[in-house]
Each structure stands twice: as C-alpha cells, then as structure tokens.
Amino acid sequence: MRSALPKVLHRVGGASLIGHVLASAAKSGAHGVDVVIGPERDDVAAEIKRIGPDARIYVQRERLGTAHAVLSAKEALSSGHDLIVAFGDTPLVRAETFSMLADALQDAAVAVLGFRPKNPHGYGRLVMEGDQLVSIREEKDASDAERKIGLCNAGIMAFAGKHALSLIEAIGNENAKGEYYLTDAVALARARNLKVAVREAAEEEVMGINDRAQLAEAESELQKRLRKAALESGVTLIAPETVFLSADTQFGKDVTVEPNVVFGPGVVVKDGATIKAFSHLEGAEVGEGASVGPFARLRPGTKLGAKTRIGNFVEVKAAVLGEGAKANHLAYVGDASVGPNANIGAGTITCNYDGHAKSKTDIGEGAFIGSNSALVAPVKIGAGAYVGSGSVITEDVPADALALGRGRQAVKEGWAAAERKRRAKAGKHD
C-alpha cells in the first residue's frame, strides 16, 4: 500500500477493511470471531476490539504461510466448532456467502469458495470431479487443459469442526518457500476420503486489496452495492453515481438525495428528509421532513429535529436543533442547542472556542438571531428573544428581550458631497 497505515486499516465506504470482514462475520451468525494479526500491531488490535469487543486476538510471530497463521489460533480450533477462514483484506464478502459456506459443511469436511473471473490468468484453478473438488492447481503447475478451467480459488475456506484441527495440523511445508499452505488441506481431506465441496461467489465480492488501485476498485464496487440497496429501500437518488455513501448510512422512507452528496460514517436520515446537492454529512442525524443544503456541512454530533432547515454554506457541529429551527444561509452553529422554530440569520456564528476549551451556546424556542451576529459562548439567548443584526453578544439575553451589541450609528448629512468636492479640488492642484 506504500503507507504507514496497516493495509487492513485502510478504508472503503468509511469503514476499515477488517471492519467490513468482522461485520459480515457477525451478520452471518458466527458465534465467535478469532483474528490473527502480526506482531506489534496494537493499532490493528484496537480496531478489532472497537468493532468486535468479544473477538479474540492471536499473534502470528513469523510469516510461515496461511495454515501457520490459522494454527496461531490453535486454541480456537480446539473447540470443535465449524470454522471459516477469511482474510482481513477482502472486505466485500457478504454475510450470506459466509452462511453458504457454513451450510456446505453439513455434508462435507471442507468447503472452498470459488469464483469465475473474466480473466482467470494468475489464479489457482479448482479441479472438480462432479460436485467434489479434487485439487487446487496453481497456474504455474497447471496443464494446458487445467488452465482452461474458469472456476478459480477465492482463498476463503471452511472446515467441519470435527476435522478442522487434524487437517490443518497435518499440513506440511515441503514446497519452494517452505511455508504451510492452507489449500493443502484439500489433498489431505481427499486422501482421508472426506468430501470437499465448492461454493461460488461473484468475482467482485472476493476481490482482495493489495494496492491503492485495488482499494479504489473496491470503493467503487461497494458504492454500487450501497446505492442499489438505498434505491431498493425507497430512497430517491437523483444522480446515483455522484452520491457517496458509508457502509453504515441509514435512510428512512421517501428520502431524496440530490447530486454530489457525500455521506461520511454515522449518518441517519429519517423519513421524508431532503439532502440537497453538494452537501457533506458525517456523524449526524437528520430529522423527518428536514432539508439540508445545498452546499451544507453537517459534522459529528449534529442532530436536526423534524422540519428543520439547514441552507447553503451552513456548517453545524455538535449541535441540536429543535423542530422547525432554521439556519438558511452562511452560518456556523457549533456546540449549541437551538430551540424549536428559532431562526439563525445569515452570517451568524457561535463563537464556541476560546483557544483552550469549547463552550456552549443555548438559543431558546422561537428566538430570532439577526444577520451577521456573533454569539460568544458560553451564552444563553432566551425563548422568543431578538438579537439585532451585526451584534456581538457576550452576556445572556432574557426571554422576549431585544439585545444589541454594536456601535451606535452616526449620520453626517452632506458629508459625501463635500468629500467629492474636496477630492476634485485636490486633483486640480496635482
């Protein structure tokens, strides 16, 4: 990946690669997840625990092949439960595919996941006899006839619990690299007259990530999947190909999303809401019938009540807006509570940071904040209060009061005409 970040912590759809795998495993009904990581990878371990607190972590001290990695979790294999071996850099495998592999173990000792790529060059071929797998033949070892086989090895395997440990422990390392290959379990199972089954998945589902180009391909594929799911759930995406979703984006019914909208992680959009063009949302909840954008930014901690209005070039962060509240243009609302039906005028900002700490602004129900106002937190604006345009508010404003925090206007009649004459006269002397 040419990165200081471990490969499995790179992200697609707002979630880490390993996070996608763990999520699919959990959805498949797996009753336990064990993860093998490399040494001194506290960052990977932390991500695993964040997503799956109950996951057990094992460390492979030496890289001696896939079977050796699995045996690093020998304690887990000793339980006798059926086992699926997946990879942390293969993020698009569906929960249904894991379940399909598990079901294959009802009458097989080993099940291998296969796929049919458009171009099979470079992949190991699955050599079949009827419905049973005879061997996995690497391309360099395959005959001309075997290279014509379109069914290839995806790498993901499942083992019946009563056979898993004995088969994997029996794998040797008599090969050019001196490594222990999990795929050798197929030949071992056949030698013991055990059935080896194959199940198939789509090519795009089993793509592994080894570089930035493949990461981009996985992102593209995941976005297609997420957009399709959104459309099928009743969301209107006016230009689907321009909308980018996160794996955890949640939509209610009758939501409309205009072109060029980005949903970061942790966004919930409730029934009937509209997200207008060129908006960016992350860690935010949008209430029923609310409108966001165009060109709006909702940052983490934002919660918009029903029928709220967030307009163009408005940024909201760690703020709760009550039902019907409005900030229609050119405003910043951060670390704030805004009551129902309050109005935030254009150019208004909540001054929430003093260089050391964040403080809160509390705006009451039905309050009106005039344009180009600065509310210096901590400060409270009472229900129904008015803040005059251009004010700097540093003290609490009682309910139903008018607050003005600006210099008194002075008017000098005739000044402009006199100034023009002065300049014209001065110009003649030049």
Q: Tens digits of per-residue pLDDT, 183-221?
A: 999 999 999 999 999 999 999 999 999 999 999 999 999
The Cα angle at residue 338 between residues 335 and 340, in degrees rounded to 5: 160
Q: How far is CA 128 from CA 118, 185, 197, 339, 342, in A?
A: 19, 15, 9, 67, 69
Distance CA 336, CA 37 (A): 42
Q: What is the pLDDT of residue 175?
A: 83
Segment 389-405 mean pLDDT? 97
Segment 112-136 mean pLDDT? 93
Strand blocks (E) in 192-325:
196-200, 236-237, 250-251, 256-257, 262-263, 268-269, 274-275, 280-281, 284-286, 291-292, 297-298, 302-304, 309-321
Segment 298-305 mean pLDDT? 98
Which of 45, 46, 51 has its CA nearest to residue 20? Answer: 51
Confirm if 9 and 17 have CB atoms less than 8 A apart.
yes
Distance CA 156, CA 183 (A): 9
> How many angstroms separate the most distant Cα atoms in the chain?
112
Segment 389-403 mean pLDDT? 97
Decide if pLDDT at 58 tops 90: yes
Q: What is the pLDDT of residue 428?
A: 64
The domain 212-403 is placed in CATH, from the list 2.160.10.10, 3.40.50.300, 2.30.110.10, 3.30.450.20, at: 2.160.10.10
| pTM attached to this predicted model | 0.92
Of the pLDDT bands very low, low, confident and very high (cuts 50, 70, 90), residue 426 is confident
Residues taking part in catalysis: 329
Q: What is the pLDDT of residue 312?
A: 98
Parallel/antiparallel/unpaired status of strands 379-381 and 361-363? parallel
The domain 7-206 is placed in CATH, from the list 3.40.50.720, 3.90.550.10, 3.90.226.10, 1.20.140.10, at: 3.90.550.10
Confirm if 154 and 117 have CB atoms less than 8 A apart.
no
Q: What are the pLDDT digits (tens) for 227-259?
A: 999 999 999 999 999 999 999 999 999 999 999
Kindly list the domain boundaries of the chain, sorted by start residue: 7-206, 212-403
Q: In the block, which residue shows the tokens 């399709």?
A: 228
> Quick one: which H or E segment has residue 137?
strand 132-137
Q: What is the pLDDT of residue 289?
A: 98
Confirm if 152 and 126 have CB atoms less than 8 A apart.
yes
Strand partners, 193: none
Decide if pLDDT at 139 tops 90: no
Q: What is the pLDDT of residue 138?
A: 86
Least confident of 256-260, 318-322, 423-427: 423-427
Same fold flag, 7-206 and 212-403: no
